[in-house]
Amino acid sequence: MIKSLTLTATAVAALAAFGAPAMAADYFAGKTITVQVPSGSGGTYHVYCQLVQRNLANYIPGNPKTLIQNMPGAGGAKTASYMQNVAPKGGQLIAMIAPGVITTPLVRKVRYDARTFNWLGAPAARAAGVFFWHTTGVTKLQDILDNKTTIASSGFASSGSIFPRLVNATLGAKMKIILGYKGGGAMNLSVEKGETMGRNNFLSGFTGVRPTWLPKKKIIPIIMYGPKSSSPYAQGVPHLGDLLKPGTMEAKMFRVLNTNLEVGQAFYVPPGAPKNVTAILEKSFVKMMDDPEFKRRVEKRRVEHAPVYAKQIRGLIKAGFDAATPDVVREIKARLYTKKSS
């Protein structure tokens, strides 16, 4: 006689918990993960996405295949909107945020909210600034305060447009931002050919793809923002945060917008992705970032390795949005998001 076996709710829960790791380990087996670049090729956004695409699968249970895909448009807002509204939620599409788009929902109607994204981590948070070509005669901050200049940028919502506009609004610079360039490679070519005089970029945006430009003084840093850098190329270059008097509206505007750069080259999956899938990807991302071999591979590409973890990213975004009080948002809108500001 075979005795029947009745499982209690506790036993069922225990068995389910016991079986969960095995299911998680098999989830990505045989699948393909696409890493989406929020710009064209030729710049360090593509470099970081390529590094993640080529390495992350080594740390994900099931060892999935990976692909890379570029989606330029609107300074990265096109990718963010796609990830919010269209992208599949199963963890098979990962995107990197274009830094400027994080705070855009504060001041413009867009179809995404970065606070809802499932953050995985950022291989680096990078110092950025405005750089001018060596033949333009622009060699110091006073030059862009006294003279009209032009700089190349991608979209209105990109950090390459927002931060030069912030310098204009807070310091009285006279930079005209020329929009429409499809990625860092196109902007670099514009500056080199003399179509524009300079561009916003990360320091490692040049060391990663134009490694001779800074040491040979082909491109000259004029003002910096974002995380402060110990790079020799940043020494003696004024930092916007240091030029603004604490407590002033200008300093408050900078505090909110600098959030875009503090989070770094951050990767995420869409809102609505299953929590267990997001947990697998976040854990795998941490293992990748913390691996000395990954650090070596990043530095071999001549870009920075300065990880920002998912919890930190969420905290930085929350703090930035909390600092965006109604009066600060009004000023940002009025001084940076009008036709006159561009």
What confidence score (pLDDT) does residue 302 get?
93
d(CA 174, CA 256): 22
Assigned CATH for 128-260: 3.40.190.10
CA distance 260 to 157: 11
Write the CA distances from 41 to 5, 112, 194, integer angstroms. Answer: 61, 24, 21
Domain ranges of the chain: 18-125+262-322, 128-260
pLDDT, one tens digit per residue, over 112-125 is 999 999 999 999 99
Q: What is the per-residue pLDDT across 25-67, written as a single tens digit (0 to 9) for each?
A: 689 999 999 999 999 888 899 999 999 999 999 999 999 999 9
Query: Contact at 8 Å (CB) between 237 and 224?
Result: yes
DSSP strand E in 54-148: where? Answer: 65-70, 93-96, 118-122, 128-133
121-171, pLDDT tens digit by residue?
A: 999 999 999 999 999 999 999 999 999 999 999 888 888 999 999 999 999
Instruction: Please check whether residue 130 is in contact with residue 167, taking contact to mean a CB–CB distance below 8 angstroms.
Output: yes
Would you state the pLDDT for residue 155?
84
Which region among 3-12, 216-225, 229-238 has the lowest average model confidence (pLDDT)? Answer: 3-12
Fold of 18-125+262-322: D-Maltodextrin-Binding Protein; domain 2 (3.40.190)
pTM for this entry: 0.89
Q: Judge whether 18-125+262-322 and 128-260 match in fold.
A: yes
